[in-house]
Structure formats: structure tokens, C-alpha cells
Amino acid sequence: MTTSERLIESTRELLWERGYVGVSPKAIQQRAGVGQGSMYHHFTGKPDLALAAISRTADEMWAKAEEWFDAPGTALQRITGYLRRERDVLKGCPIGGLTQDPDVMADPVLRRPVEETLGRLRARLAEILTEGREHGELGPGLDPAATSATIVAVLQGGYVVARAAGSTEPFDQAVDGLLNLLAAHATTPGRAE
């Protein structure tokens, strides 16, 4: 792994563990095993490095989501796969968690990949739900835009409640409840599983 890669990966880990304000250049350098000169050779400073780390995390999150969204199956099967995929629930969402970081949210440059990723996720889920309606899998009463916003909100809220409880059970219950609500819009019972 190159020096810049080690710096980005170390920053990603630290952002997820501590948040932006809790990450110092020294901590990044120590985790990456590089000196100050190496860090500033590759990046202009902490904000530049944080942007690279957040952007990489957003890209990876999106790639994982697309694996499920592009998989074969009905709209509900693809969404179910995405919702039930393996996650480190108790660590929280590495992108969603940044919305709780006031320094990230106050900086338009750092906020942009967070905002874009969550917006892109809502839009893609709405597309899949629209496909489901068009193919007759879902009833016409389902609002794809509102439902996609609900899916994202339940996921992000599920992380928060699970972390507060110190258990994945609240997250799993939230996903189960969401899938039950989606199944109620299926034109054929049991299509969500």
C-alpha cells in the first residue's frame, strides 16, 4: 500500500471511530506509520485528507449497495437483499454517522459527499420501487420517493437505536418492520422474501 493509501485508510478508520474533530493529523500519521512530511507531501492538510477518506468511503458504500440493486430478482427481493446484507451495525454507518459531526456538516466541501451519497441512495431506491410498480410487483398506492426516503431513514435510525442499545436487535427489528410494510404493497403475498 502506498503512503497516500495508508493515509487515506487510516483517516477513514479514525473518522469512523472518532469523528472529524477527534482526528488529529498526528493520530493519522501514527496510524498510517508515516511522518508529517509524508502526509503534507500527499495532502494539503487534514481537510484535504478527510475529503479523500470520506469520498472513498462513499464510493465503497455505493458499490456495495449497487451489488444488491443490480442483482437479479424482483424489486422487493433486491431491496430485501440490500437491507439484510451483512453490516457492522454497532459501529454505525460510516457515511450516516458523519451527519452527526458538526464540523463535517458545517464544511460544504466535506458535507458534499455525505449529502450526495444519501441522496443518490434515496434516488436509486425510488427507481427500483418505480420498476416494481411498473412490473406489477407493487401496488399503485406505493409512493416510490416517500418510500425510498423512509427506507434510508429507517436504516440510519436503526444504526442509532442499535448502538444506543448495544445490540443489533433493534436494527434487525426495524428492518423486519420495514419489510413487512413493503410486503403489504406487494401484489403477490410473500414476494419480499
- pLDDT score for 54: 96
| Buried b / exposed e along 3-21 (16+ C-beta atoms within 10 A) | ebebbbebbbbbbbeebbe
- pLDDT score for 36: 87
* Distance from C-alpha of 155 to C-alpha of 149, rounded to nearest angstrom: 10
Which cell is 56 given?
472513498
- pLDDT score for 95: 93
* Distance from C-alpha of 125 to C-alpha of 129, rounded to nearest angstrom: 6
pLDDT in tens, the chain (193 residues): 899 999 999 999 999 888 898 899 999 999 999 988 888 889 998 999 999 999 999 999 999 999 999 999 999 999 999 999 999 999 999 999 999 999 999 999 999 999 999 999 999 999 999 999 999 999 999 999 999 999 999 999 999 999 999 999 999 999 999 999 999 999 875 444 4
Residue 162 burial (C-beta neighbours within 10 Å; 0-12, 13-18, 19+) = buried
pTM of the model: 0.89
Q: Are 80 and 193 in contact (CB under 8 A)?
A: yes
CB half-sphere exposure, 126, CA atoms < 13 A: 13
Domain ranges of the chain: 54-183
| Buried b / exposed e along 74-84 (16+ C-beta atoms within 10 A) | bbbbbbbebbe
* Distance from C-alpha of 45 to C-alpha of 49, rounded to nearest angstrom: 6
- pLDDT score for 192: 43
- pLDDT score for 189: 55
CATH topology of domain 54-183: Tetracycline Repressor; domain 2 (1.10.357)
Q: Are 130 and 49 in contact (CB under 8 A)?
A: no
* Distance from C-alpha of 59 to C-alpha of 166, rounded to nearest angstrom: 28
Which cell is 119 given?
441522496
